[in-house]
Structure 1
Amino acid sequence: MAIGSKDRLPRTDTPPIQFVRFGEKVLTSGITEHKIEGVRVRVYNPAKTVVDLFRYRRSAGKRYRKSPGLNLALEGLREALRQRQATPAEIARYANEAGTWKVVQPYLEAMTTNA
């Protein structure tokens, strides 16, 4: 779960939640709102989620032994593009904002280049 860089860390035992600190600009970009059973829920859009997978590719691999971080990020990128849930331009924009463009760029170009 994403929290601000200066936010107090919530205490919770159940369910187990991993908290990640984001700077203000990264924390507030790419949010969409949905109403679920009358409750307003804010979630990140698919393009932002893909970029976050690349940002935390190293720590994700350590946390989830069966899902290596880079493989998870690549699968997210592939599926977001295949299902047309995110455009290459959206992914590039969020990658630039988050400072991960140099990591994302070769994979994005490889998946979007016509052979």
Structure 2
Amino acid sequence: MVTSKATKRNRILQLAKQRGALRNADFEAIGVSRQYIADLVDKGDLERIGRGLFSLPYQERSEHHALVEVAVCAPRAVICLTSALQFHGLTTQLPPFVWIALPRTSWTPVVPTVGVEVVHMSLAGLSQGVEHHKIEGVQVPIFSAAKTVADCFKYRSRVGTSVAIEALQDCLRQQKATRTEIIKHAKNMHVWSVLRPYLEVINGA
């Protein structure tokens, strides 16, 4: 627990620099009150970027800032489906919320500033194809391009078959993943029989 004001301030700013964004729980973990955080915001040392979410005032916001907020508030979640497609540059769609994958027994997390749509997966499905990308200083778990394509076919009733087909085509055209990688994840997600005809058409084109 930090004590002196100087130590508190330095510790908080150091944490904000390391992690990119901080929640109220992060401050509570080091014994800093919400009133003290409010004082730092008033002085311009910290910036409130969302309800219960703070960063350094000069922290640059990227186009993927919503993913950062989700990662901070829901660290167990993995960015998936069209949100992952958008990150990988494999869709022109702009989803109105962030798609996240969670274990089947998990509750839907509350992210005050961003809407989320949840897909519940098995632990095996959640452990495959996870990449960690550093965005605004925060490590954000995102499914790989190949895993995301397979997931889009798996959950095509929710994202649309046309989105899944476009993702498959763009993934191969942009060389974001190989056929072998896509096939592996399609088999792991038990959608190889669904995806295979579309892959054969693309190969024959």
TM-score range (shorter-chain normalised) is 0.7 to 0.9
Aligned with residue 25 of structure 1, among 124, 130, 143: 124
**Aligned mates of 2:133, 2:127 — CA distance in 1:** 16
Q: Secondary structure at the match of 1:10?
A: coil
1:75 alignment partner, one of 129, 146, 166 = 166
**Match of residue 5, structure 1, among 104, 108, 112:** 104
TM-score by length of 1: 0.85
Report runs of 4+ in structure 1 exceeding 4 Å deviation: none
Give how far 1:37 is off: 2.5
Question: 131, 144, 159: which one pairs with 1:45?
Answer: 144
Q: Which range moves more in the overlay, 8-17 or 92-101? A: 8-17
Residue number among 77, 86, 89 corresponding to 2:177 in the alignment? 86
Q: Secondary structure at the match of 1:81?
A: helix
Amino acid at match of 2:126: L
Structure-2 separation of matches of 1:88 and 1:19: 27
The normalised TM-score by structure 2 is: 0.49
Which ranges of structure 2 fall in alignment gaps of 5 or more residues? 1-99
CA distance in 2, matches of 1:39, 1:59: 29
Q: Which amino acid aligns with 1:78?
A: Q
CA-CA distance at 1:13 after TM superposition: 5.4
- Equivalents in 1 of 2:129, 2:150: separation in Å? 11
Structure label with greater radius of gyration: 2
Cα offset, 1:17, TM superposition: 1.0
SS in 1 for 2:120: strand
Matched to 1:45, the amino acid is S
Deviation at 1:8, TM superposition (A): 2.6
What amino acid is the match of 2:158?
S
Displacement of 1:7 in angstroms is 1.8
Q: Give the whole-Å Cα distance in 2 for the aligned partners of 1:40 and 1:9.
A: 20
Structure 1: gaps spanning 5 or more residues:
61-68
